[in-house]
Amino acid sequence: MHRKSKNLFIVMFCVACILVSGFQFHSTYATTSTHQSLDYSYTTKKQVSISSDPRIELISIMQMMIGAWPMTELEFDYLHDVQGTFFQYYGHPAIEMFSFMWYNYGFSQEIPSTFMLHLSNPPELKILTPFTKEITDKGGGDRNLNDFLVLLRDFAKQTNFIGFYHQHQGFYQECVEQVEKKLGTKNTIPMLEDYFGFSDRSHGMILVPLFSEIGYGTHVDKNYFALVGPYDVEEKKGDKNPYWAGPDDLHKQLLKSFSYAYINPLLFDRKTDILTTAKLFKPISTQMRYQKIVDWQSCLTEHIVRGVSQSFTLQEYGPEEHINQRNQDIQSFYVYIDYIGEWLRMYENHRNVYSNFEKFYPVIFNSIRQLCECPLIPTMVSVENVSENGVQIAWKDNTTEPGALLIYRKTLKKDYEIIHQTDLRDVSVWTDPNVTIGETYWYQIAIQGLGGTIRSYAVRATIPSYPPLAPENVQYEKEENSLRFFFSYSYKAEGFTLFEWDNGEKRPLQSISFEDFDPENENIYTIILEEHDSASDHLFFVCSYITVSKSSSKKERLYSSPSNFIQIEGVKP
């Protein structure tokens, strides 16, 4: 072969290798964005597109550098690689500006990731989709965002971020394949489309090793994204690698994350109207700020998303899981969650009227406005004690306007009814004495004002089948041929039994029911033991008792622990 021909062959061979190599890289790391012809993101063909995205990876590294939240608290090899590679650039002006925007402008939570998804891949980071007003507002304006973008490009180039990303492509691919197997055939997207009433959205799950498991939900136009961090770490042969949650938990997380993407735009477009109902934020603002929720719009979004998530849980996993999730939401101070549940049931039961969630939103806003006419909602409602003697409930009254205090109660067979009402609101603890062993009750604290009545979330109490409380301070008197035992008792029981301790065993002597006593006699109860043998030593005590059903045909008497012992010595000859 001639030298010129040989050289031409070598050149053509090299070009072919480059093209083949580029094709393989692109087919493995396919695009997740309709705006780009070439992307470095590994993806799959599942109903939820699972990927790693260099734009999100870059911003997640920067978020970790500024101490943002929520970030992973796990320790694994990739995280150490990030720290060793990028933390030396902590003084770069992009980091300083990003920190200022996060903590001062509100360019935080999902907004930086949403911002990145409007761009091409690093290091070019060209604007492919115009920024939304929300991004612009929280980024400090167009000029500030452009200045940040210039610094961001410089940071990506100086750190050779894309080289770092290429070096770890095997790690990203393993993460994606792991999650793909776990997610399997879960019915995530059909459930979302059916519930919210939209079928023209794409759904992508982006795995972000540095984010916490909580992650974020966001969207760019009609492309919806769930940005999810790892659940835990596994160690094999000395390597520590993160892994994501199991199928059910991952499915639940995606339903919740994508719900943010559906609901956030609805509320942001109506933020001026929502601001007029910010009164509802007042009773819970402190607790919400501990969770990085600083305004009523964000709080309302979180309430609605959690309400929708509860609906999904009830649909798929049943009442018990639904109750557990609701209780967790209440413990996190989402005090309007029961109202949200009622409103969502209206939507779910009338889909022939409300074909999608956007058409139903005016009903939610109307209901919120109605709550604003009422006093502030009672909070910190809790069951302090449960026994056969009653249910003790505590709460915090947040309003200063006049109005009556109402306590509602329901059972499995009866709907809510008022069991206590008073105009005196200087108490925050009350006991319901009219309870039955084995019964379950739900309670709501309500404040009635001129504009209506607002109820707290419901708290639940099941009356346990415990033995009653023991009598105390039992005393006795000797009479001619008998002993008279007397005591006071202010708790619930069916009656009392006098026992004698005889040769290591307790021997019942006499039982008296409550019906045998005079209720007006200041709770003083008397048991008379006839034909008493005064020649021997005796050890007496009294137990209260109740009767419980073990089955439809079998009942059992439960005795309390013994009262104080009565020692009577025999008369010696």
Q: For the chain, first and last CA: distance in Å?
A: 139
Domain ranges (residues) in the chain: 40-246, 270-373, 379-462, 475-568
Q: Tell the residue number behind the tokens 């925050």, with chain if given.
A: 428
pLDDT tens for the 573 residues of the chain, in order: 444 444 444 444 343 343 333 322 222 223 333 333 334 444 444 478 999 999 999 999 999 999 998 899 999 999 999 999 999 999 999 999 999 999 999 999 999 999 999 999 999 999 999 999 999 999 999 999 999 999 999 999 999 999 999 999 999 999 999 999 888 778 899 999 999 999 999 999 999 999 999 899 999 999 999 999 999 999 988 899 999 999 999 999 999 999 999 999 999 999 999 999 999 999 999 999 999 899 999 999 999 999 999 999 999 999 999 999 999 999 999 999 999 999 999 999 999 999 999 999 999 999 999 999 999 999 999 999 999 899 999 999 999 888 999 999 999 999 999 999 999 998 899 999 999 988 999 999 999 999 999 999 999 999 998 899 999 999 999 887 889 999 989 888 999 999 999 888 999 999 998 776 665 666 788 899 987 677 788 999 999 999 887 776 788 899 999 999 999 887 554
Let me know if the fold of 379-462 is the same as that of 475-568.
yes
My answer on whether omega of the bond before 123 falls inside 30° of 0, hence cis, is yes
Dihedral sign (CA 526, 530, 533, 534): positive
Beta bridge partners of 394: 382, 429
Query: On the CB side of 456, how many CA atoms lie within 13 Å of its CA?
Result: 30
Q: Tell the residue number behind the tokens 């961001």, with chain if given.
A: 152
Query: What is the distance between the alpha carbons of residues 285 and 280, in angstroms, rounded to a whole number?
Result: 9
Q: Is 226 helix (H, G, I), strand (E, B) or coil?
A: strand
The topology under which CATH files domain 475-568 is Immunoglobulin-like (2.60.40)
Shortest CA distance to 257 belongs to which of 218, 208, 207? Answer: 218
Torsion of CA 50, 52, 56, 58, to 10 degrees: 170
Long-range contacts of 299-304 (CB under 8 A, 24+ apart): 300/267, 300/274, 300/368, 301/260, 301/263, 301/264, 301/267, 302/334, 303/334, 303/336, 303/337, 303/340, 304/263, 304/267, 304/340, 304/364
Amino acid at 288: M
The topology under which CATH files domain 379-462 is Immunoglobulin-like (2.60.40)
If DSSP states are collapsed to H, E and C, what string results for 22-74? HHHHHHHCCCCCCCCCCCCCCCCCCCCEEECCHHHHHHHHHHHHCCCCCECCC
Beta bridge partners of 410: 442
Amino acid at 359: K
Q: What is the largest CA-CA distance in the chain?
A: 140
Q: Is 520 helix (H, G, I), strand (E, B) or coil?
A: coil
Give me the pLDDT at residue 397, please: 96
Give me the pLDDT at residue 320, please: 95
